[in-house]
Structure 1
Amino acid sequence: MRASLRQTIIETCKAKIASKGETVGVSFYAFFKNKNDDPDLLMEAATWWIATQKLDHFEKAVKIRDMVMQGQ
């Protein structure tokens, strides 16, 4: 996964956790605007989330943040 996507995921998760608490959930769509202006990046995130990590649609933001920070 490219470094810019990793950084976006970490920052988004941190912001969600700060505003809604440790139990807040996210999906990979949370890292994108409501328009598909970069389909390759969206597919990169979806592939990591669904095919590589086999995550559920919604996961705890702390789990995702920690996974990305650990380089998974």
Structure 2
Amino acid sequence: MRPDLRQKAIAICDRKIAQKGESVGLSFYAFFANRNDDPDLLMEAATWWIKTHQLDHFEKAAKIREMLHAGR
């Protein structure tokens, strides 16, 4: 995952956790606006989420943040 997407995803996880608590779940769609304005970036996030790590559609934001910080 490219560094700018990784940093954006971490910031979104941090924001969601701050708003709703440690148990909040999210999908990779949370990293994007409601329109598909960057399909390559969306596919990169989807590949990381689905193919690389075989995550469920919704995962705990804290788990995703930890994975991103670890460079996985």
TM range (shorter): over 0.9
Asked if 1:28 is matched to 2:28, the reply is yes
> Which blocks of at least 5 consecutive residues in structure 1 are unaligned?
none
Distance in 1 (CA, whole Å) between partners of 2:44 and 2:51 is 10
CA apart distance, 1:66 = 0.4
Q: Give the counterpart letter for 1:51 in structure 2.
A: K
Q: TM-score, normalised by structure 2?
A: 0.99
2:14 equivalent in structure 1: 14
CA apart distance, 1:58 = 0.1
Q: Give the counterpart letter for 2:43 in structure 1.
A: M
Q: TM-score, normalised by structure 1?
A: 0.99
Distance in 2 (CA, whole Å) between partners of 1:63 and 1:51 is 17
SS of 2:45's partner is helix
Pairwise CA RMSD: 0.3
Distance in 2 (CA, whole Å) between partners of 1:15 and 1:25 is 12
Q: Identity over aligned residues, as a percent?
A: 69
Distance in 1 (CA, whole Å) between partners of 2:22 and 2:66 is 12
> Which blocks of at least 5 consecutive residues in structure 2 are unaligned?
none
Structure 1 residues 1-72: aligned runs within 5 Å:
1-72=1-72
CA apart distance, 1:39 = 0.1
